[in-house]
Chains A and B, each alone.
Chain A
Amino acid sequence: MENPEISTPIAISESEKTEQARHLSIPHQHKDAIGAKIGMWLFLFTELLLFGGLFLLYMAYRLQYTKDFVVAASELNLVLGTLNTIILLTSSLTMALSIAAIQRGKKKLSVAMLLATIGFALAFLVIKYFEWTAKFHHGIAPNSPELLSKPNGEIIFYGMYYSMTGLHALHVIIGMIILLFMLVFLLRGSISKNDYIKLENSGLYWHLVDLIWIFLFPLFYLLH
């Protein structure tokens, strides 16, 4: 502490001040697209970590019950799973195209692509519904005697399966609702070539849903 550095006030001239102000000031009434996007990404991280917790559980249980997991996984319907993967990937494409279209001011194309995305989302849910009900039909539902008679590892496998795909399906539903709102905004013109951050953010959300499925798919359907 022998050599104190004494800070001196930095005098700043009046002209320099206004110069800085002009450069940096962001009037707060204005919409801040980057800010909104930062907010959205941060939200996506929370989603990532939310599913991260589930993946962590999956990892632990899979290590503990490797054999049971393989047995149980072979009972899932690979065809439906693959189909759903393709549907979701395609919906991601149409989502991206919808944004690309509005960036170029092509409203009609944008609306069409958005509709397609919503359609794919619906298709995904319908397939998921059939998958689940088929399982329920075979008596494999939480707390069903059929399931409880299986080895512990399989009970846990289905516990993870239902909670992870269930939570994912919930996200698809929420995503669909958001996209429906975006459709309305798009038609009303409050999303336009000059201001499409809402659509962009919804797109980010939608891609995240896709992203999670990309990992769910091999972990549940491709175990042999």
Chain B
Amino acid sequence: MANGVLAERLENYLEHKTHKGIFAWILSTDHKRIGILYLVSMVTFFWVGVTLGFLMKLEMLTPGKTIVDAQTYNTFFTLHGIIMIFLFIIPGIPAVFGNFFLPIQIGARDVAFPRLNLLSWYLYIIGGLFAIASLFLQGGPIDTGWTFYVPYSIRTTTNVILPLLGAFILGFSSILTGLNFITTVHRLRAPGMTFFRMPLFVWALYATAWIQVVATPVVGITIVLVIIERALHVGIFDPALGGDPLLFQHLFWIYSHPAVYIMILPAMGVVSEIIPTFARRTIFGYKVIAFSSLAIALIGYFVWAHHMFSSGMSNTSRAVFSLLTFLVAVPSGVKVFNWVATLYKGSIELRAPLIYVMMFIFLFSIGGLTGLVLGSLATDVHVTDTYFVVAHFHYVMFGGTAIILFAALHYWFPKMFGKMYYEKLAIWATPFIFIGFNMLYFTMFILGYNGMPRRYWSYLPEYQTLHIISTVGSWILIAGLAIMFGNLIYSLFKGKPAEANPWGGVTLEWQIPSPPPAENFEEIPVVNHGPYDFSIINGNSDGKS
């Protein structure tokens, strides 16, 4: 692109060093470097979680003991849940891709508070270490499940306080990121970048940031209360002291339900970026998608107690929350329809990122639609706390968010690292992932409907066949992921240099060189059209420049 030539002279952010050695990374306040920091640390934590998931599946091969005993299994799913939720999927897309691309997409040089941004990363690392440290301490790792339900979390003798503290610190990190993004969006948009000219990824991050800011403190206080109750025996939740465990569940889910939208909204934003680029046409219903992000963020607050349908709350509550849960599904549906409509009469190039997006639409729809089964009282009371729920949330979190993480990684890889990956290999990984994934998790729907409860170390023999299929699925899935990650890592070193705009995208990040210069823009751009205006490119039939 035109200003690409000009910018060639600029030092890119990987060359531009403010400090020596490792300090060039861990002391840098450049939002791009912080994004990479998150990526690296997240992948590290993440593999711990994956290994635990893999081991859990091995244990499920036979009823009774296969490889570990009950206590170990209980700590496995707890740590697996904590790591995947708090260390991987919640910070996931905002911290990595949000940090890297939000400022670029709105034409800013950095986020509003760069130093706070770096602090968030440090808090993230500290929180993560806290969460994992319990593995190595006297008393053994936490075994409460990632939901920390009282009174078990007050009674168990394992190390609960440390991981709780970790979760609290991670919450702080998440709040600071959210606060930073909101301020950035309000204050640092380039001239002409009105709210309705912002890319939908930015809209999604903006909505997410609001949830981060207003929901996270609620779980923060809940965690603090459990800690002081455990440490000092202040009467708060413990029924022995007159407390009500249901109130803990309310407070916990007041955060943790909106948190699932923290996980999915940014992913939806990425989808809204990738589809127009590869269909080379403007998105269908820009405003509807933008507003549905806000709607999800808002209504997302009103449904938390659908996690408590069998907990003994009032019948009124059950009805109200069931109704509201059904309504929250609608804005997600609207998005799905709009995405599919965006493919209509496009000029579609089927590249790796788009394949992942298609996979996402299919898997997320299954996950979301089974969410309706869970939102419905009659069926939820049967399948709650069974493998049906486990299947649901792996479909939405893994099939939804994590698959989009892969898509985003492929989509923005050339821009972030200035290298191209091997397209063929990237595409080859997808059938493995798709088949493995469905074998692994679809079986869990059947298991759950047949009454196999979750968090079970042992199970009745009649469930074994399905468990075996599921475990084999996990091996196929991991093979697919190994191909995918292997390809990316190899390309990092050996890939061909990437062009500034390999896909023919029109949002701002594609108008600067790959990798981006340290200051992003030599001159702050002036924006005079919407985010997905392909009319210029469509002028010449072969769009690539």
Contacts and interface: CB of A to CB of B under 8 A. Distances in A.
A and B touch in the complex (CB under 8 A): yes
A28 B241 contact: no
Given A9-B529, A46-B213, A38 B235 contact: no
A38 B108 contact: no
B334 interface: no
Given A6-B535, A35-B186, A45-B213, A50 B191 contact: no
B110 interface: yes
**Which of A8, A17, A50 has the most chain B CB within a 10 Å cutoff?**
A50
Interface string A34-63: 110011001101111111111011001100
B183 A12 contact: no
B6 to A, nearest CB: 16
Contacts of A53: 217-218, 221-222, 251, 254
Nearest to A155: B235
B533 A7 contact: yes
Given A21-B524, A45-B213, A142 B233 contact: yes
Interface in B165-222: 175, 178-180, 182-183, 186-188, 190-192, 213-218, 220-222
A32 to B, nearest CB: 6
Given A46-B217, A142-B235, A159-B236, A9 B536 contact: yes
A82 interface: no
A163 B224 CA distance: 10
Nearest to A148: B241
Interface residues of B, number: 56
Tell me what chain B mostly uses at the interface: helix, strand, loop, or mixed: helix
Contacts of B191: 20-21, 23-25
Nearest to A57: B247
A28 B108 contact: yes
A142 B243 CA distance: 14
A26 interface: yes
Interface of B: 108-110, 112-113, 116, 175, 178-180, 182-183, 186-188, 190-192, 213-218, 220-222, 224-225, 228-229, 232-236, 241-244, 247, 250-251, 254, 282, 341, 344-345, 524, 526, 528-530, 533, 535-536
22 contacts: A7-B529, A10-B528, A12-B526, A20-B191, A20-B526, A32-B187, A35-B188, A39-B112, A43-B175, A46-B213, A46-B214, A53-B251, A57-B251, A143-B232, A143-B233, A152-B241, A156-B235, A156-B243, A158-B234, A158-B235, A159-B234, A159-B235
